[in-house]
Amino acid sequence: MLTNGNQGKKSERVVIGYDCGDFFSQMSYCYLDVEEPETFSMVLGGEAYNIPTVLAKRKDVNQWEYGEEALKFGEIEGNLIKNLVSKALEGNLVCVEDYEFPPEDLLALFMKRSLALLTISINRSNIESIVFTVDVLNQKMLDILNHCVDSLGLNEQTKVYFQTREESFFSYIIKQPKDIWESQVMMLDSSKGYFRYMRLEMNRKTVPVVAFIETEEFPEVSFTCIPKQITTKENFFARMDLAMQTVVEDVCEGRRISTVYLIGDIFNDGWCKETLKYLCKGKRVFQGTNLFSKGACYYAKERYAETPIGKQHIYLGNDKLKTNIGMRVLRAGRESYFAVLNAGINWFEAKSSYDIILEDGKEIIFILTPLTGKGKKEAKFLLDGYPYHERKITRMHIELDMTSENFLRIHIVDLGFGEISQSTGLEWTEEISVE
């Protein structure tokens, strides 16, 4: 999946996609005037993209190793710290020798050390933005990532975004030739140490086109304990092949899946012969390891400058606002729709602040239009205690933000209207469902 796309670049501004996994992490980067991202390799000219997400502390000294070096010293000295992402999410202090370390600090240290590798090719001051892609993007993970970012010493001008691996999958796919994703696209992923699939489909009846991803995990199909004895190993992979083929046939039945991506080094061994035999009948099959980091890179470029294909397609995952939110307002004497929050953005980035003139009444109506197929509805916000009979006109300041993917917080302040009507000092806050 890697091409040397950054040759011939003119711009010095660069975007980075950082795939942060529990077992391995990867980094892709792309200059703004170059189309194809490039993935950082630990071996010059090779495809050693995986950086083990591990740390190891040298005994009796305050010196830390990361990645492959940590694996070496960890085995010798017994101080290897694995599963940094999971440990950060669990939140328990990590004991090393006689010290205890907050797990989010350890993950931050790993990120800082690994990102420093890019300074060989990239001037830190030229980083336009970084997109971190992870498996889970809940509030806990957001807090951890923000903590890590604070420790990286980035320029204030560098923009930072977070996304799930599902969205990185989507961001990668829509940058491929259109015939690849004219039907549904499936990914078979082993990057978590066990088998899972993602299936991307699009509703082309909507404008813009709405994309959804179905994901299912199969922890029982695990690749973390592969036997070393040859006969036992062959039997192990034969069972894995059969299990995977069963899942794949079930997913594909009755669906138009045109393309399949196999993600992870485990597929390099050529063991899944029966699964591949089934998949290669009428489907295009690609194999690689760096799709997520490259997808994050594509997303960063899209955030910098929206493309026609990006405008025409919206991904609606669990971390996305799935409803357009607006109001009916009078402009130049005519009623019109005023959009305040657009579906498709990350719910934790969804914020809006504006003023309106309220001429009568004591309620403000928001128009909710879901992109999931549910009908349009109105949400009425009642201004309790507002003396609307005594006032002809006032200016209301409205602030909106999402407290989760399904709940909108509305905060309204009465600002008054100059000498015509003084502010009452009243404020109102309420949460409403946008499902």
> Over the chain (435 residues), what is each successive 10-residue block's mean pLDDT?
49 93 96 93 86 91 90 83 96 91 97 91 91 94 96 92 97 95 93 89 90 90 79 85 89 92 84 88 91 97 95 93 93 90 93 92 92 88 88 90 94 90 92 92
- Looking at 275, 295, 315, the residue that finishes a domain is 295
Evaluate whether residue 252 is within a structural domain: yes
Residues 188 and 277 in one domain: yes
The answer to whether 117 touches 4, Cβ cutoff 8 Å, is no
Strand segments, DSSP code E, in 275-350 are 284-288, 313-315, 323-331, 334-341
- Looking at 121, 151, 167, the residue that finishes a domain is 167
pLDDT at 98: 83
Contacts of 61 by beta carbon, 8 Å cutoff, 6+ apart: none
Evaluate whether residue 300 is within a structural domain: no
Evaluate whether residue 313 is within a structural domain: no
- Residue 202 belongs to domain spanning: 175-295
Evaluate whether residue 7 is within a structural domain: no
Residues 397 and 416 in one domain: yes
Residues 152 and 38 in one domain: yes
What phi-psi label fits residue 178: left (phi over 0), alpha (psi between -120 and 50 degrees) or beta?
alpha
Sign of CA dihedral 159, 165, 167, 169: positive
Q: How far apart are CA 39 and CA 29, in angstroms?
A: 6
The CATH number for 110's domain is 3.30.420.40
Pairing mode of beta strands 80-81, 55-57: antiparallel
Number of domains in the chain: 3
The CATH number for 353's domain is 2.60.34
Strand (E) or helix (H) holding 99? strand 99-101
Q: How far apart are CA 431 and CA 403, in angstroms?
A: 8
Evaluate whether residue 318 is within a structural domain: no
Residues 150 and 44 in one domain: yes
Residues 146 and 186 in one domain: no
The answer to whether 411 touches 429, Cβ cutoff 8 Å, is yes
Evaluate whether residue 211 is within a structural domain: yes
Strand (E) or helix (H) holding 144? helix 139-150
Q: How far is CA 356 from CA 20, 255, 411, in A?
A: 43, 48, 13
Length of the chain: 435
- Looking at 151, 167, 183, the residue that finishes a domain is 167
Residue appearing with tokens 């009428």 = 282
Q: How many CB atoms lie within 10 A of CB 136?
A: 13
Max Cα–Cα distance, the chain, nearest Å: 89
Residue 104 tokens read as: 């989010």
Residues 55 and 84 in one domain: yes
pLDDT at 172: 97
Radius of gyration of the chain (CA): 25
Residues 328 and 426 in one domain: yes
Evaluate whether residue 9 is within a structural domain: no
Residues 358 and 238 in one domain: no
pLDDT at 1: 43
Residues 38 and 117 in one domain: yes
Residues 203 and 128 in one domain: no
Write out the DSSP string of 187-200: EEE-TTSEEEEEEE
Evaluate whether residue 191 is within a structural domain: yes
Residues 142 and 251 in one domain: no
pLDDT at 291: 96
Residue 69 tokens read as: 């070096």
The answer to whether 16 touches 130, Cβ cutoff 8 Å, is yes
Residues 266 and 408 in one domain: no
The CATH number for 190's domain is 3.30.420.10
